[in-house]
């Protein structure tokens, strides 16, 4: 006797978000090391050429300021990205992220029957994570789930939703084009 597949169950996969945190940590570390080296070089140049640099303090201050502000700007950008990436990891779910059955769809612990689902689409996400999978109910409520937390391709989700909903719904992938 053969049994069919009754549902698609997709667990959360925090691996891409964790990898992003590690990448931003490495980038911040390298930016701070670069900034430290720049400060050391500027200090050595100042000590070595003190008389010439103090003769024209405005030019010295401008050049030193630009170099230090550029390094600080990069380090600040990396720090902000690291904090946002850590927030994404902390907010990632555990367990089942998505379940598609013949009765409907469960997305991030929110169950919607096929008759309750208005549209299933992809949308632009918030930086640093990418696009989201968005389920909008007929009552206007919506549930978002970052696509990077799903270990399946969007086309697989589209095909599965079309099959289990009997062709009534599909995944609108146009949000990935933007």
122, with CB counted inside 10 A (0-12, 13-18, 19+), is buried
Interhelix angle 15-48/57-91, rounded to 10 degrees, is: 160
pTM: 0.75
Q: Each residue of 84-130: pLDDT tens digit?
A: 999 988 888 888 888 898 888 988 888 888 888 888 888 887 777 78
3-state DSSP assignment of residue 141: coil
What mean pLDDT is reported for the chain? 87
Of 143, 149, 157, nearest to 129 (Cα)? 149
d(CA 17, CA 107): 19
Say what the pLDDT of residue 80 is: 95
């Amino acid at each position: 006797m053969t049994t069919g597949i009754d549902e698609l169950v997709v667990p959360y996969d925090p691996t891409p978000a964790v990898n992003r945190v590690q990448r931003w940590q490495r980038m911040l570390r390298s930016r701070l090391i670069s900034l430290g080296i720049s400060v050391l070089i500027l200090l050595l140049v100042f000590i070595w050429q003190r008389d010439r640099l103090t003769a024209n303090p405005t030019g010295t201050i401008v050049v030193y300021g630009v170099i230090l502000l550029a390094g600080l700007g990069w380090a600040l950008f990396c720090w902000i990205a690291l904090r946002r990436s850590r927030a994404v990891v902390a907010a990632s779910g555990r367990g089942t992220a998505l379940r598609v059955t013949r009765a409907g769809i469960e997305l991030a612990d929110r169950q919607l029957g096929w008759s309750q689902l208005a549209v299933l689409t992809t949308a632009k996400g918030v930086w640093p994570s990418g696009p989201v999978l968005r389920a909008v109910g007929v009552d206007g409520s919506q549930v978002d789930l970052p696509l990077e937390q799903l270990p399946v391709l969007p086309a697989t989700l589209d095909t599965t939703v079309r099959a289990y909903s009997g062709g009534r719904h599909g995944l609108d992938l146009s949000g990935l084009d933007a």
